Structure 1
Amino acid sequence: LDNPNDVKELIPEFFYFPEFLENKNGFDLGRLQLTKDRVNDVILPRWANSPEDFIRKHREALESEYVSAHLHEWINLIFGYKQRGPAAVEALNVFYYCSYEGAVDLDAIADEKERKALEGIINNFGQTPCQLLKEPHPVRLTAEEALLKHNKLDTATVNLFQNLSDLKSYSITVTTDDVSVVKAIVPKTQLRSFMSQGSPEQLVTISQNLVLGTHGWLPYNKNISNFTFNKDQTVTNPKTLRTLCGPFAPGLEITSKLFVVSHDGKVLFSGGHWDNSIRVTSLTKGKVIGQHIRHMDIVTCLSTDYCGIHLISGSRDATCMIWQIGQQNGSSGDLVAKPVQILYGHTDEISSVGINTELDIAVSGAKDRTVIVHTIRRGQYMRTLRPPSDSSLVTTIPCLALSWDGHIVIHSSIEGKGTLKNKNALHLYSVNGKYLGSESLNEQITDMCVSGENIVLGSRQGFLSIKNLYSLSLSIAPLAMRVPINCVSVTKESSHILVGLEDGKLIFVCVGKPTEAKSGQISRKRWGTGRRASQISSAETEYNTQDV
């Protein structure tokens, strides 16, 4: 590394692919000349306890403040004004002349031997990139400077995962007669025109009695408070109720896994129907615009990818199906689903599914205790994961989730035990199926999602937990919601966690910031409950998660 003539760069695998550090195929790579030790896995530095830890810390270093502060210097050397001329000489950034763009015109050399000799020299020394800049590149803003600039915006939001010590919860009732909320989500890529910038987006809720709600939602407005929520009044008016067409299969539990909202917020895909269909419902009209019957039994779970290209469904018939989401012919522009793959391998009912189009993987968990990974484009079987368990009792996979970089988080549950101790566990696998660790749970998980490097869990015992993706350890103490949690989701800005409760309340968890009081703001106490709530608008009340 100290030799100026020895130019090295780290390949991209150093920042995302831990498997390249291991000799998984057991190839004979020879022995060291001095010690005669066999060459096998790469010997890691002492600060890394595993290949995964090595890659993760490398990636953190790449995104560190130090690298950000010196990034412009690297750009100046490789693509900028220090690539050539006196500035390059002063920076000791001079290479063999043949490596520079335009230094040699190979087509103009008539002598075949001379041309081949120059080609060999260029191949040996490499080629310098094109010079893009003649002036010094500006310095990148520090994280503090970028945050100050971001906070000046009227719609600036705060990432709650970076401020876990300052979380607050707010409560809104979105159903009537204390009917449970089974789904609450803000669609990711709602189309906005220039005229609609700054206006509320859409927040979709589904209640246990299958009533649809499309509420107005703004994650943050400096002139109001931590968020703006405009309740959909049709959910409380019997004359304007929009309900999902049924009936659903007898005895089927209505959970969040049966529903997927398209990323543009226009349609709802639903499973669990008596005729084994997946139905497409317009959220604006509340009417069915599509019905697809491909499974031989009831559809038990649905999931979509991060970019909204594919949908995956699981069924009681032990198969999964991948659907391509696209617009139907005609002027309506409504989304429909087209089946593209059927996935086999399980021997029992599918209980949870996940999909990642960018990484070409579809994952399914079933009551046969297995998790199977397939490819999306070809539907090819890749591997079977069997989460470890010390019990001989029946184990199921109620929930699973995928991270953006392909980590597979699996919740396993043992049936038939009387107590919660050691009944539930969380397991982590890499994108290539390597087992990375497990953590026992003292609660029954009802829903979970992965956001960045965080796992958000909701439990039947009423606790909202946030865990680190890599260590599976708690990032903060669980938040007590007091009643069972039916669903959890994270908004696209990572500014809020939406929590649907069994008593019909929708909880917004966000970073508590100083709020500009509205007219009529009051504080009150709910007599008889021992809970204190501050009303910050006509609809939202602060929800104290510390009282148990």
Structure 2
Amino acid sequence: MDNPNDVKELIPEFFYFPEFLENQNSFDLGRLQISKERVNDVVLPKWAKSPEDFIYKHRKALESEHVSAHLHEWIDLIFGYKQRGPAAVEALNVFYYCTYEGAVDLDAITDEKERKAVEGMISNFGQTPCQLLKSLIESVFPFGLKAQQDSSPLNMFEHLGDLKSFFVEGISDNVPLVKAVVPKNQSHSFISQGSPDTMVIITAWWGPMGEMILLTSNHDRFLYISPSRTQRFLSGPFAPGVELVAGLFVVSHDGKLLFSGGHWDNSLRVTSLVKGKTVGQHIRHMDVVTCLSTDHCGIHLISGSRDTTCMVWQVLQQNGAPVGLSSKPIQVLYGHTDEVVSVAISTELDMAISGSRDGTVIIHTVRRGQYMRCLRPPCDSSLPLSILHLAVSWEGHLLVHTCLEGKATLKDKNTLHLYSVNGKHLCSEGLKEQVTDMCVSGEYVIIGSEQGYLSIRDLYSLSLCSEPMAMRVPVRSVSVTKEQSHVLVGLDDGKLIIVGVGKPAEMRSSQITRKLWGSSKRMTQISTETEYNTHQETRCK
């Protein structure tokens, strides 16, 4: 590595593929010449605990602020004005002449031996990339990045010690708040200055015909118009025995459609939140739809059912906006022997994931519906094991929540398991709480529990990043805004809790009233947020 004539680059696998460091197929790679030790897995440096840790730290270094601030210097050497000429000589960035584009015209060499010799030199020394920038230009990348960071809301995961909670009044007092989400397609963050946002809130209010009431609130920041002006009804009763949980509902990325399961006729329904009526009713499952999930881009939706099958649906688009589902599923996935209770999907990684009460997690491909693998989370008990929650990260890390059925105490009942994108079990962590909802955001796992705790864990180690926040009543749903500025927590008593980094100065009620509602609006017509006490008296693991 100290030879200036020997230029090496790390292959892309160094930043995403830990399996290449292991001899998983037990190939005979020979023995070392001196010690005669058999060559097997790559010997890792002392700072790496495992191949996964090695790749993770490589990727963190590549994506660090230092690299971002100096990336233009590397671009100048490889693609820019320092690739050739006097600037390249001054930067000691000169290579063998055959490596440069256009330096040799092979077609002009008539002597076959000479031509093969030149081809051999090019093959041996490699090729320098095309020169894209041939003059000195001012690099604005670091400054542009800093300006973008300064204008973005604070990332709550970078300030875990400064988190505060506020609850929004007048939402659904004493009525369970099943789901609260901010649509992902909004151009601004949850509390951007002067940006009217939409939040979809699903509450378990029941009408005279068994319908469920939804609240879709057009608001700025933490303000809400009275529910009577914005409520929508989800028509038709739910099936007997169906528990209304966050996993039964998916909101489209633009916040205008609601996909729901759990209905008495085994249908998967599409409800327009703008018109307040059902615009699609798909009956393909033979039993009740128990869980739904959509991918990061809103291209596909996956449904699980009591009939042990899963179905992948295409979300139809019109002018870039979701308008419904395909008339029939594009894939029907089999393999479970009991009710499917959790699903997750990643179109980017071509993964459709399902968890069942039979204790298995099955992974299929999205595009072809091909079976990939079956995961059985480790368990020392002989009691039945259910896969109650699933979540998948951008990099393909699969988070599995398992629960022992029929166990009265919480000790060793609930466990989190982490798997790699290729199904390797990485770690497990026992919980002293009953998980009610969980999601993955970046490198963090957010979990709500029946015991009323909101906890944030590191995705790769599953360890707690900070003390759990005591919500005092059972948590029904958790979701993270797209810029990771806030966590939205729905509670069993109907409160909506907003967790973020402090309370912005522009959130004073007088300013909000003047800016958004005009001087004629009275404060009694809207309700503001109040700090919520999350002091906990007991700690949980």
| TM-score computed with the length of structure 2 as normaliser | 0.90
Q: Residues 421 and 140 (structure 1 numbering): CA distance in 2 closer, same or farther, change over 3 Å?
A: farther
CA distance in 2, matches of 1:114, 1:174: 84
How big is each residue's C-alpha offset from its partner over 1:147-185, in whole Å with a ceiling of 9 and x where there is no partner? Answer: 56643x4xx311100011111111014544521110111
Q: Which residue of 1 aligns with 2:157?
A: 161
Partner of 2:519: none
Q: Give the alignment partner of residue 359 of structure 1, picking from 343, 349, 366.
A: 349
Aligned position for 1:416: 406
Residue 314 of structure 1 aligns with which residue? 304
- Which residue of the partner structure matches residue 126 of structure 1? 126
Q: Cα offset for 1:86?
A: 1.7
Q: Does 2:264 align with 1:274?
A: yes
Q: Which residue of 1 aligns with 2:254?
A: 264
Q: Please state how far the C-alpha of 1:66 moved relative to its aligned partner.
A: 3.4
Matched with 1:183 is 179
Distance 2:467 2:322 in 1: 45
1:215 to 214, 217, 242: 217
Find the residue that maps to 1:353 and give its secondary structure: strand
SS in 2 for 1:242: strand
Distance 1:311 1:119 in 2: 51
Which of 324, 328, 331 in structure 2 is aligned with 1:335? 324
Residue in structure 2 matching 1:546, options 531, 535, 541: 535
Specify the alignment match of 1:63 in structure 2: 63
Q: Specify the alignment match of 1:23 in structure 2.
A: 23
2:219/2:225 contact within 8 Å kept: no
Q: What residue number does 1:479 align with?
A: 469
Matched residue type, 1:236: S
For the residue of structure 1 that corresponds to 2:222, the secondary structure is strand
CA contact (8 A) 2:168 2:527 kept: no
**Does structure 2 conserve the Cα–Cα contact (< 8 Å) formed by 1:216 and 1:229?**
no
Q: How does 1:379-398 map to 2 (within 5 A)?
A: 379-398=369-388
Q: Who is 2:36 aligned against?
A: 36
On the 8 A contact 1:407/1:430 being kept in 2, the answer is yes
Residue of structure 1 aligned with 2:228, choices 231, 236, 250? 236
Counterpart CA distance in 1 for 2:255 and 2:277 is 15
TM-superposed CA distance for 1:394, in Å, is 1.4
Question: Over residues 382-431 of structure 1, what are the superposed CA-to-partner deviations in whole Å (9 max), with x where a residue is unaligned?
Answer: 11111111211111111111111010111111122221111111111111
Distance 1:276 1:447 in 2: 23
In structure 1, distance between residues paired with 2:66 and 2:28: 40
Segments of 5+ residues of structure 1 without an aligned counterpart are: 219-227, 522-534
Higher deviation after alignment, 67-76 or 242-251: 67-76
List per-residue Cα deviations over 1:444-490 (Å, max 9, x = no partner): 00000000000000000100000000010000100000000000000
Shift of 1:121: 2.2
Output the CA distance in 2 between the equivalents of 1:438 and 1:203. Answer: 34
Q: Which moved more, 1:452-461 or 1:200-209?
A: 200-209
**Aligned mates of 1:175, 1:513 — CA distance in 2:** 20
CA contact 2:224–2:527 (8 Å) conserved in 1: no
CA displacement at 1:245 relative to structure 2: 1.2
Amino acid across the alignment from 1:202: T
CA spacing shift, 1:163–1:285, aligned 2, 3 Å: same
Pick which of 25-34 and 334-343 moved more.
Answer: 334-343
One-letter identity of the residue aligned with 1:51: P
CA–CA separation in structure 2 for the residues paired with 1:520 and 1:381? 58
Q: Deviations over 1:17-65 (max 9, x none)?
A: 1011001111111111111111110000111110001111111111234
- Decide whether the 8 Å contact of 1:212 with 1:286 is kept in 2: no
The whole-number CA distance in structure 1 between the counterparts of 2:533 and 2:342 is: 32
TM-aligned CA distance change 1:103 to 1:414, over 3 Å: same
Equivalent residue number for residue 516 of structure 2? none
Moved more, 57-66 or 47-56: 57-66
Q: Is the 8 A contact 2:252 2:322 kept in 1?
A: no
**Cα 1:478–1:147 shift into 2, 3 Å:** farther
Does the 8 Å contact 2:388/2:403 carry over to 1?
Answer: yes
- Give the whole-Å Cα distance in 1 for the aligned partners of 2:343 and 2:369: 15
The answer on whether the counterparts of 2:242 and 2:262 sit within 8 Å (CA) in structure 1 is yes
Structure 2 partner of 1:527: none
Alignment of 1:507-546 (within 5 A): 507-513=497-503, 515-516=505-506, 518=508, 538-546=527-535
Give per-residue Cα distances to partners, 1:426-445, cap 9 Å, x unaligned.
Answer: 11111101011111101000
**Structure 2 CA distance for partners of 1:37 and 1:357, relative to 1, 3 Å:** same
Q: Which moved more, 1:60-69 or 1:409-418?
A: 60-69
Shift of residue 191 of structure 1? 6.9
CA-atom RMSD in angstroms: 2.4
- 2:329 is paired with a residue whose SS is strand
Shift of 1:249: 0.4
* Counterpart position of 1:304: 294
SS in structure 2 opposite 1:61?
Answer: helix
1:289 aligned partner, one-letter code: V
Tell me what 1:205 maps to: 201
Counterpart CA distance in 2 for 1:56 and 1:140 is 29
Q: Deviations along 1:316-338, whole A, 9 cap, x unmatched?
A: 0001111111137x999723235
Among 453, 469, 477, the residue aligned to 2:459:
469
1:101-126 deviation digits (Å, cap 9, x = unpaired): 11122233344443333223222221
Q: d(CA) in 1 for partners of 2:459 and 2:81?
A: 42
**CA distance in structure 1 between the partners assigned to 2:507 and 2:80 by the alignment:** 51
Mark the CA change 1:352 to 1:131 in structure 2 (over 3 Å): closer, same or farther: same
Give the Å deviation of 1:130. 1.2
Extract unaligned runs of 5+ from structure 2: 206-211, 512-523
- Aligned counterparts of 2:274 and 2:251: Cα–Cα separation in 1: 12
Aligned residue type for 1:413 = C
- 8 Å CA contact 2:254–2:322 kept in 1: the answer is no
CA deviations on 1:350-373 (whole Å, 9 max, x unpaired) are 010001111111111100011111
Could you tell me which amino acid in structure 2 is paired with residue 539 of structure 1?
A: T
* 1:305-324 deviation line (CA, Å, top 9, x unaligned): 00111100000000111111
Q: Percent sequence identity over matched residues?
A: 67
How far apart are the structure 1 equivalents of 2:244 and 2:432? 24
Separation in 2, partners of 1:104, 1:150: 45
Aligned to 2:208: none
Q: Per the alignment, in what secondary structure is the counterpart of residue 208 of structure 1? A: strand
Q: Is the 8 A contact 1:69 1:140 kept in 2?
A: no
Which amino acid letter does the alignment assign opposite residue 215 of structure 2?
G
Over 6 Å off, 4+ runs: 140-143, 330-333
Q: Which stretch shifts more, 312-321 or 100-109? A: 100-109
Question: TM-score scaled by structure 1?
Answer: 0.89
